[in-house]
């Protein structure tokens, strides 16, 4: 049995495109629908109730597009909303915390791991919990870096101001002698160069994208959901400017983004 329906991938904004890129690479035949809630980003500084409400709307929107599987390409939603919503979603769902944790444990040699993420994700404690459940003896150091999301959404991935912000956010982690840093927010891989300037080459930066794509392939196989014949189709939705999405999305994916439509999940287009 084959299933040609698309996979739904979503985030509060552009960050999830770092995950979509990896999925496209590993599963080039799968059609994908992406939703970025750029109009309401960031989620990471908002209350759990708000994140739950937004996530619920994002999920309903993608389910209305007849997706066969959902990828929550956002750590904040994975941490704060998914545990409560998962049982009401009738398609398989993949999140990013577990793959990110696994990626870190594969890389660390010293067992000293740093985690950076949004305030919501850090205060939920889910990363520390996930990593400790797999390796109880590792040392974990966390830091919330909320401004990073806005800097990425602004396209300021590599400039002096972003570097100054990174120096301030990362100064405590720098002292802890970590050998691995989890980029626990899907926006952060766009700041890899800036973070490297601050922490140096010896700290390995890991994100969930690659591990998640491998898990996705397995899950599609397991559920008999792999695509059959035909060409993959990519459709993108944003709740803010289509032009800005295209412009920055192109820089993230390294190719022109053609099919972008604006949607407003509050129903006030
Ligand atoms: N990219 C998201 C994450 O992985 C959310 C960023 C935000 O909206 O604050 O957490």
Indicate whether 254 and 194 sit together in one domain.
no
pLDDT greater at residue 265 or residue 97 = 97
Task: Tell me how many domains the chain contains.
Answer: 2
Domain of 202, in residue numbers: 97-208
Indicate whether 114 and 65 sit together in one domain.
no
**Is residue 189 included in any domain, yes or no?**
yes
Q: Average pLDDT of 175-201?
A: 97
User: What's the pLDDT tens digit per position in 38-49?
Assistant: 999 999 999 999
**Is residue 178 included in any domain, yes or no?**
yes
Indicate whether 74 and 113 sit together in one domain.
no
Indicate whether 162 and 221 sit together in one domain.
no
Active-site positions read 74, 185
Task: Please report the pLDDT score of residue 267 as a whole number.
Answer: 67
pLDDT greater than 60 at residue 94: yes
Indicate whether 109 and 62 sit together in one domain.
no
**Is residue 65 included in any domain, yes or no?**
yes
User: What's the pLDDT tens digit per position in 34-88?
Assistant: 999 999 999 999 999 999 999 999 999 999 999 999 999 999 999 999 999 999 9
Which atom of ligand 1 has the smallest separation from the CA of 43?
A: 8
Which positions ≥6 away from 88 have C-beta within 8 Å?
Answer: none
Q: Average pLDDT of 95-101?
A: 96
Distance 174 CA to ligand 1 centre (A): 23
**Is residue 1 included in any domain, yes or no?**
no
Indicate whether 64 and 120 sit together in one domain.
no
Residue 11 bridge partners (DSSP): 36
Indicate whether 14 and 56 sit together in one domain.
yes
Indicate whether 78 and 37 sit together in one domain.
yes
User: What's the pLDDT tens digit per position in 193-226?
Assistant: 999 999 999 999 999 999 999 999 999 999 999 9
Task: Please report the pLDDT score of residue 2 as a whole number.
Answer: 87
Task: Please report the pLDDT score of residue 12 as a whole number.
Answer: 97
Distance 171 CA to ligand 1 centre (A): 22
**Pocket around ligand 1 at a 6 A CB cut-off:** 11-13, 15, 41-44, 74-76, 118, 121, 149, 185-187
Task: Please report the pLDDT score of residue 269 as a whole number.
Answer: 45
Q: Average pLDDT of 108-135?
A: 97
Which atom of ligand 1 has the smallest separation from the CA of 146?
A: 9
- pLDDT bin (cut points 50, 70, 90) of residue 90 is very high
Task: Please report the pLDDT score of residue 266 as a whole number.
Answer: 80
**Of 170, 177, 125, which is closest to residue 145 (Cα–Cα)?**
170
Distance 159 CA to ligand 1 centre (A): 21
Which atom of ligand 1 has the smallest separation from the CA of 185?
A: 4
**Is residue 136 included in any domain, yes or no?**
yes
User: What's the pLDDT tens digit per position in 138-153?
Assistant: 999 999 999 999 999 9
Q: Average pLDDT of 222-232?
A: 90
Indicate whether 110 and 144 sit together in one domain.
yes
Domain CATH code at residue 103: 3.40.50.1860
pLDDT greater at residue 269 or residue 138 = 138
How far is residue 71's CA from residue 10's CA, in Å, rounded to a whole number? 7
- The residue from 191, 208, 225 where one domain ends is 208
Indicate whether 73 and 110 sit together in one domain.
no
**Is residue 114 included in any domain, yes or no?**
yes
């Amino acid at each position: 049995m084959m299933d040609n329906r698309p996979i739904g991938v979503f985030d509060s904004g552009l960050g999830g495109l770092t995950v979509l890129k990896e999925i496209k690479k590993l599963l080039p035949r799968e059609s994908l629908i992406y939703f970025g809630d750029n109009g309401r980003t960031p989620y990471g500084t908002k209350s759990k109730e708000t994140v739950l409400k937004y996530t619920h709307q994002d999920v309903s929107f993608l389910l209305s597009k007849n997706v066969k599987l959902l990828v929550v390409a956002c750590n904040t939603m994975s941490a704060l909303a998914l545990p409560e919503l998962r049982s009401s979603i009738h398609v398989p769902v993949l999140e990013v915390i577990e793959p990110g944790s696994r990626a870190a444990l594969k890389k660390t040699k010293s067992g000293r791991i740093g985690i950076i993420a949004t305030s919501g994700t850090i205060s939920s404690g889910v990363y520390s919990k996930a990593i400790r459940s797999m390796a109880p003896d590792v040392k974990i150091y966390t830091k919330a870096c909320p401004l990073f999301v806005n800097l990425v959404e602004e396209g300021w991935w590599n400039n002096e101001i972003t570097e100054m912000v990174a120096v301030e956010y990362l100064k405590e982690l720098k002292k802890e002698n970590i050998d691995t840093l989890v980029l626990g927010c899907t926006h952060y891989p766009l700041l890899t160069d800036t973070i490297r300037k601050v922490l140096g080459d010896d700290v390995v930066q890991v994100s969930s994208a690659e591990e998640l794509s491998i898990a996705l392939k397995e899950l599609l196989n397991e559920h008999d959901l792999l695509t059959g014949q035909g060409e993959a189709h990519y459709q993108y939705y944003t709740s803010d400017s289509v032009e800005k999405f295209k412009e920055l999305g192109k820089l993230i994916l390294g190719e022109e983004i053609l099919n972008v439509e604006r949607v407003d999940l509050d129903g006030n287009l």
